[in-house]
Structure 1
Amino acid sequence: MKFFYLSSNPNDEGKYEIHERECELIPDILDREYLGPFNNGKEAMRKAVDLNPKASTCKQCCNTTFQAVFFKNN
C-alpha cells in the first residue's frame, strides 16, 4: 500500500491534486491533507472527491495502471 495526500491549494487548472507520499511534486506538509493508505491513485480518488469535488490525480505519481497477472500451473 501507498500513502496518499490531497493538496490544499489548486493547480493551474483549479484542481486539487492527489499525490503519493514519495512524489517529487507533493506540496509542503502544511499545504496537504492526509487521505490514507490505498493501493493506487484511483482508490484514493474515491475518498478525495468526498473531501473536495475538484480533486484530481497527479499525472506524475498516480498515472500508473494496475494489471493483474495470473499464472496457470501445469
Structure 2
Amino acid sequence: MARYYVNKYSQANGDHEVHKQGCSFMPLSENRIYLGDFSSCKPAVRKAKEYYQKVNGCYYCSNDCHTR
C-alpha cells in the first residue's frame, strides 16, 4: 500500500496529477490533497475524480495511470 495525493493545481492542459508518496515531483503539502492508501494508482485516480474532472497519473510515480 502507498499513500496517494492529487495536486490542487492543474497542469497547463488542465490535468490534476496523482502522485505516490516519495515522488520527486510531489507538490508541496499545502498544494496537495491526500487521497488515501491504495495498492495501485487506479483507485487513487478514481478518488481524485471526486475532486477534479480532469485527472492523470504522474508520468514518474503513477505511470500505469498516465495517459498520452
**TM-score for both structures, normalised by structure 1:** 0.81
Tell me, which stretches of 5 or more residues in structure 2 are unaligned? none
Q: Measured at CA, do residues 64 and 15 of structure 1 come closer, stay the same or move farther in structure 2, by a change above 3 Å?
A: closer
Give the Å deviation of 1:55: 1.3
Aligned residue number for residue 72 of structure 1: none
* Cα distance, 1:64 vs structure 2: 4.3
Determine the structure 2 residue equivalent to 1:2: 2
Percent sequence identity is: 32
Supply the AA of the counterpart residue of 2:14. G
How far the C-alpha of 1:53 sits from its partner, in A, is 1.1
Q: Which residue of 1 aligns with 2:23?
A: 23
- Aligned pairs, number: 65
SS at match of 1:17: strand
Letter in 2 for 1:47: K
SS of the equivalent of 1:51 reads coil
Alignment of 1:37-48 (within 5 A): 37-48=37-48
What amino acid is aligned across from residue 17 of structure 2 in structure 1?
Answer: E
What's the RMSD between the two structures over aligned residues?
1.4
Query: Within 2, Cα distance between the matches of 1:50 and 1:31?
Result: 17
